[in-house]
A and B are shown apart, each in its own frame.
Chain A
Amino acid sequence: MEMKVIDHATCTFCGCVCDDIQLHADETRIHQAKKACVLGKAWFLNHTAERKYPDALIDGKEATVDEAIEAASEYLYQADMPLVYGMSNTTCEAQRQCVALADNLGALLDSHTSL
């Protein structure tokens, strides 16, 4: 199997966000994470490209992403005081969408920082 080498990969497991990691990966998993610390190594090596979980769950039952997006939107739309929370283990691009979501809904918006 062919190994892909990615220099200067970025680890987002902790706040240090090391950006000098060298990853050796094939199609499905990362085999080596050079220069990462113990935590970072475990983080990189534990993820695979396999389908480990169902695409979506509604009331604990498997559903498609489309159905789940529809259900989520309806719950948020019906709520009087929705809350948008978290945004830590995600990208800035997704965070911007979350701010727009809270703004649209007239919602509460908060992150881990408040802990």
Chain B
Amino acid sequence: MVLVDIRETKSVKAADIFLQVRPGKDFELITILRAMIKDQPISETQIAETGLTMEQLQDFVSRMKAARFGVMFFGMGLSMTRGKHMNSAALLTLAAEMNAFTKFVAMPMRGHGNVTGADVIMRSQTGYPFGISFNRGYPRYNPGEFSTVDVLVRGDTDCAFIIGADPGATMPQPAIDHLARIPTIVLDPHVTHTSRLSRVHITTAPAGISAPGTAYRMDEIPLPLHPALESPYPSDEEVVRRINETLMKKPDWMGERPQILQTQI
């Protein structure tokens, strides 16, 4: 196991090799690796910029090529620092290019329970995994434009529906300020930070503890939930379905419902 990080974390103990990359140089490192696997010339100064040495990287590349099935796990340290989704895109390209030599895949490390499920469901229903806009009546995808932090920081949205998340505790302050300014609706088993700044909060049964359903594991295996308790609260599914039903009764602002995914629900 090779660990790449900007500092020595607890995972270093579990790793065979630790590569300490200079903060903000992920994109450079990945691009250099992409060049090296194809034997393209790289100068010592370019490598020195990443905080690593030619020997370290040559060793790393030969190990990658010698592997029979390699997996690159990546987390928010890559996708939320300088370069953002360009870093993730570069890593995915590296994984794809490694397949010229051996089997390689890249997999995001997931913190929250069923984020993978959200990806899979949005992908199957809209064709895109996240950062989607339906405002033209059909799904469009553009992270950076339609991704939540950007939308909130710019103040583009005038109503927020938050389910199974607590952006009030995790997002940058300008985003939180905007959530407090607009009508925010929260569905959560707890009264969260976001609930406190919302106009409407609805308590729901926690998934997997008292609400049944399906959750996807990080490697996209769907697993059934086996709730152990009864809950006095309705499930998320029930509440969102009832909101949908209520909305369906209202006259549509476009004269005709723009919904195009009717057959899938």
> Are B209 and A91 in contact, CB atoms less than 8 angstroms apart?
no
Residue-wise, chain B 218-231 has the 8 Å CB interface mask toward A (1 for contact) of: 10011111101111
Inter-chain CA distance A82–B148, complex, in Å, is 11
Interface segment, one of B23-31, B51-59, B197-205: B197-205
Q: Which residues of chain A in 75-115 are interfacial with respect to chain B, using CB atoms and an 8 Å cutoff?
A: 75-115
In the complex, the chain A residue whose C-beta lies closest to that of B167 is A85
Contact of B143 among A28, A87, A109, A114 (CB under 8 A): A114
With A51-B232, A92-B114, A109-B134 known as contacts, the answer to whether A101 contacts B244 (CB < 8 A) is: yes
> Are A83 and B160 in contact, CB atoms less than 8 angstroms apart?
yes
Interface segment, one of B13-21, B32-40, B233-241: B233-241
With A49-B231, A72-B161 known as contacts, the answer to whether A88 contacts B210 (CB < 8 A) is: no
Which residues of chain B have C-beta atoms less than 8 A from A108's C-beta?
132-135, 146, 148, 151, 157
Interface presence of B156 (CB below 8 A) = yes
Interface presence of A35 (CB below 8 A) = no
Residue-wise, chain B 102-124 has the 8 Å CB interface mask toward A (1 for contact) of: 00000011111111111111100
Inter-chain CA distance A7–B214, complex, in Å, is 16
Nearest CB of A to B37, in Å: 27
> Are B213 and A94 in contact, CB atoms less than 8 angstroms apart?
yes
Which residues of chain A have C-beta atoms less than 8 A from B160's C-beta?
82-83, 85
> Are A70 and B236 in contact, CB atoms less than 8 angstroms apart?
no
With A81-B156, A88-B112 known as contacts, the answer to whether A15 contacts B229 (CB < 8 A) is: no
Nearest CB of A to B11, in Å: 15
Nearest CB of B to A95, in Å: 4
> Are A83 and B157 in contact, CB atoms less than 8 angstroms apart?
yes
> Are B261 and A9 in contact, CB atoms less than 8 angstroms apart?
no
The A contact surface, by secondary structure, is mixed
Interface presence of B60 (CB below 8 A) = no
With A19-B223, A90-B114, A94-B236 known as contacts, the answer to whether A110 contacts B200 (CB < 8 A) is: no
Contact of A84 among B135, B143, B161, B222 (CB under 8 A): B161
Interface size of A as a range: 35 or more
The number of inter-chain residue pairs (CB within 8 angstroms) is 338
Which residues of chain B have C-beta atoms less than 8 A from A56's C-beta?
200-203
Interface presence of B9 (CB below 8 A) = no
Inter-chain CA distance A12–B164, complex, in Å, is 12
Inter-chain CA distance A89–B118, complex, in Å, is 9
With A86-B164, A88-B114 known as contacts, the answer to whether A49 contacts B229 (CB < 8 A) is: yes
> Are B146 and A110 in contact, CB atoms less than 8 angstroms apart?
yes
Which residues of chain B have C-beta atoms less than 8 A from A111's C-beta?
115, 118-119, 122, 129-130
With A11-B208, A30-B209, A76-B247 known as contacts, the answer to whether A86 contacts B226 (CB < 8 A) is: no
Inter-chain CA distance A55–B170, complex, in Å, is 25
Q: Identify which of B131, B167, B191, B228 gathers the most chain A CB atoms within 10 Å of its CB.
A: B228
Which residues of chain B have C-beta atoms less than 8 A from A70's C-beta?
246
Residue-wise, chain B 186-207 has the 8 Å CB interface mask toward A (1 for contact) of: 0101110001101111110011
Other A-B pairs beyond A11-B208, A14-B111, 15, CB < 8 Å: A6-B228, A12-B208, A15-B113, A15-B115, A55-B233, A69-B242, A69-B246, A71-B200, A76-B247, A82-B160, A85-B162, A89-B113, A91-B117, A102-B132, A103-B258
